[in-house]
Structures are given as C-alpha cells and as structure tokens.
Amino acid sequence: MGALHAGHLSLANQSKAECDITIVSIFVNPTQFAPDEDLEKYPRDLEKDKKLLSNENVDYVFFPDKDQIYPYNFQTYVNVEEITKTLEGAFRPTHFRGVTTVVNILFNCVMPDFAYFGQKDAQQVAVVKQMVSDLKMPIKIVVCPIIREDDGLAMSSRNIYLSSEEREKALTLHKTLLYGRKFIEEDKEMNPQIVLDNMKVTLGEEKSIKLEYVAIVNACGFREVDLIEEGNEYYILIAARVGKTRLIDNELVRID
C-alpha cells in the first residue's frame, strides 16, 4: 500500500532474482479499512516510492486510482470463509474481504506467475494462499522473511506513528515472541497454553501495551493448536496497540 520501506523492497528484490519481469503494485485499498481505522491518514508518498523502486531497477510500477479499481456501481467481492474468522479477522471483521477482493483484482490486471508477500502479515498470506488454491489461480505465492530494524522492531509503514517512547515500548512485542520461541524450540514445551501464559505475563509487565491477541497456529492451515508436535511448523502471533498505533508481528518456529 505504499510508504515503502526495506521490507517491501526485499520482496521486489526476491522477485527480480527469480523472475524475468517484476511489477510492483501500489494501492491504498479502502475496502480493507473499517470506518474507525486510519485510511485517511495512512502514509502516502508515491513519488518517493517510485524513486525507491527505480533505484532497485523494478521494471514496472502499477498505481491505479480508486475509481479504476472500484468503478461506479462496483458490487462484487471475494470472501474466504473459515480462515478469516479468527485473530485479525475477529478484531477487523471487514478486513480480509477487502484484501482478497483487491488482490484478486490486481492479479487479474497483472496476470503474474509469482506473487511475493511478506511473512509479517502471516494470516493475510494464508488467506491469499487459500483463495489462490480454491479459485484455481495459476499463481505461486512466495512468502518472504520479515525484515526488522537493527533493534528487532518489524518494519511497518505504521511505525512512523510511534513516538520515540512508544517505539521503545514496541520492542516488547518482538522480545516476547523470542521468549515464546525459546520455550518451544529450546525448552521443548509442547503445551501451547503454557507458552502463551508465560508470554502474557511478560507482556503484562509493560502497562502501556494493550494486547489484542497472542496465539500459536499451525503454519499449514492457520488453525490454533492444542498440542505442539515435532516436525511441524507453527506461527507465534501477536497483535497489540502501542499508544494509538496497532502493530502485528510473528515468529515462525519448528521443533525437529
């Protein structure tokens, strides 16, 4: 959605390494914002974005306006069912319908062979993968690693909303995820509830953070689990408000 940072550019660079032509779409999608969310103030700097992409030698930038994507009398939406009802879907119930609709439209405009998404929006990636599979789209979804600041904060266009004090508080999210990852990978704790309870204690020590959820889900299928098993991959997910800014982050874990 623009306001590009190194995380976005890493997607473009992976595409360039693997594809003949790389196209980056930039579109602040109104249908994935609820009425009380930050659509109007969402950061936008198209000229800076184009310059960054030019510096990376991206082949094309596709930046349609709202009326091209949603013309007068637009009335068709794409809705993925079960996977959108929990976590982000529970806290933002209209969000994923907007995401899947606009991604479908952009795919139809560009007709890519590969599409590159960041791991930071792990549930969004799972939803898009489900849509692509269900609708038999001939597109391979490639998930790229989270790019972090030097101190561990996951890069996000919304980080500019954070004051210097809030930014320091926000580091608690990643530290808590690493704490949970250690419980699973090093301490071999197989009970997800024990892991989550300990993570919540750590988060509760920072009173300025308002936790929305912390969860452990199967990387394949994105279902919350009752037992962590060897040989499987899991996401530890977190969403919280730091001041007025809503942040999400995750860690991918595996026990071998």
pLDDT tens digits, one per residue of 5-32: 999 999 999 999 999 999 999 999 999 9
- For position 12, what pLDDT does the model report? 98
Would the pLDDT of 90 be above 90?
yes
Once rounded to an integer, what is the mean pLDDT over residues 107-113? Answer: 97
185 and 140, same domain (yes or no): no
Would the pLDDT of 207 be above 90?
no
Does residue 35 lie in a domain region? yes
Once rounded to an integer, what is the mean pLDDT over residues 88-107? Answer: 96
Residue 46, domain CATH: 3.40.50.620
134 and 187, same domain (yes or no): no
100 confidence band (pLDDT: 50, 70, 90): very high
Task: Tell the burial category of 213 from Cβ atoms under 10 Å away from its Cβ (0-12, 13-18, 19+).
Answer: middle
Does residue 79 lie in a domain region? yes
What is the domain count for the chain? Answer: 2
48's CB contacts (< 8 A; 6+ apart) are 4
Look at residues 144, 167, 184 and tell me which one is the last residue of a structural domain.
Answer: 144
- For position 41, what pLDDT does the model report? 86
pTM of the model: 0.94
Summary mean pLDDT of the chain: 95
Task: Tell the burial category of 231 from Cβ atoms under 10 Å away from its Cβ (0-12, 13-18, 19+).
Answer: exposed
Residue 223, domain CATH: 3.30.1300.10
What are the CA-CA distances from residue 75 to residues 13, 65, 72, 78, 128 (Å)? 35, 17, 9, 10, 20
166 and 64, same domain (yes or no): no
- The residues assigned a catalytic role are 8
13 and 116, same domain (yes or no): yes
Would the pLDDT of 216 be above 90?
yes
Task: Show the tokens assigned to 80.
Answer: 């993925």
- For position 243, what pLDDT does the model report? 93
128 and 193, same domain (yes or no): no
Would the pLDDT of 79 be above 90?
yes
- For position 238, what pLDDT does the model report? 97
pLDDT tens digits, one per residue of 161-196: 999 999 999 999 999 999 999 999 999 999 999 999
131 confidence band (pLDDT: 50, 70, 90): very high
% of residues, the chain, pLDDT over 70: 100
Q: Give the range among 116-125, 135-144, 197-206 with minimum mean pLDDT.
A: 197-206
Look at residues 144, 172, 199 and tell me which one is the last residue of a structural domain.
Answer: 144
Domain residue limits at 59: 6-144
